Amino acid sequence: MSRGFNGLPPVVKNLIIVNVVMLAAYYLIGWATNINLNSLLGLYFVKSDLFKPLQIITHMFMHGGLLHLFFNMWALYLFGQVLESVWGPKRFLIYYFICGLGAAFTNELVQWFEYSRLMAHLNPADVQQVLDLGRNAIVNSQNFVDPSLAKLNNLLNVPTVGASGAIFGLLLAFGMLFPNTEMFIIPFPMPIKAKYLVIGYGALELYLAVTQPGSDIAHVAHLGGMIFGFIMIKYWRKTTKTLY
Name residues whose C-beta falls within 8 Å of residue 69's C-beta, 6 or more positions apart in sequence: 19, 20, 23, 63
- Domains of the chain plus CATH, in order, are 5-239 (1.20.1540.10)
Residue 60, amino acid? M
Per DSSP, 208 falls in state H
Q: Which amino acid is at 146?
A: D
- What Å distances lie between residue 206 and 25, 161, 164, 179, CA to CA? 33, 20, 15, 21
- Note the pLDDT of residue 244: 45
DSSP 50: T
Task: Please list, residue by residue across 216-233, b when 16 or more beta carbons sit within 10 angstroms of its beta carbon and e when fewer do.
Answer: ebbbbbbbbbbbbbbebb
Q: Where are the beta strands (DSSP E) in 84-178?
A: none
**pLDDT for the residue 8:** 87
Whole-model pTM: value is: 0.89
**Closest to 131 in 3D by CA, of 151, 113, 156:** 156
Per-residue pLDDT 10s for the chain (244 aa) are 445 667 789 999 999 999 999 999 999 999 999 899 999 999 999 999 999 999 999 999 999 899 889 988 988 998 899 999 999 999 999 999 999 999 999 999 999 999 999 999 899 999 999 999 999 999 898 999 999 999 999 999 999 999 989 999 998 999 889 887 777 766 666 777 877 777 777 777 666 665 655 555 667 888 899 999 999 999 998 877 555 4
Interatomic CA distance for residues 178 and 82, integer angstroms? 10
What is the dihedral sign for C-alpha 49, 53, 54, 57?
positive
**What letter represents residue 212's amino acid?**
Q
- Looking at residue 45, the DSSP 8-state letter turns out to be P
Distances (CA, A) of 128 to 4, 40, 49, 119, 132: 54, 23, 13, 11, 6
- Compute how many other C-beta atoms are within 10 angstroms of the C-beta atom of residue 74: 12
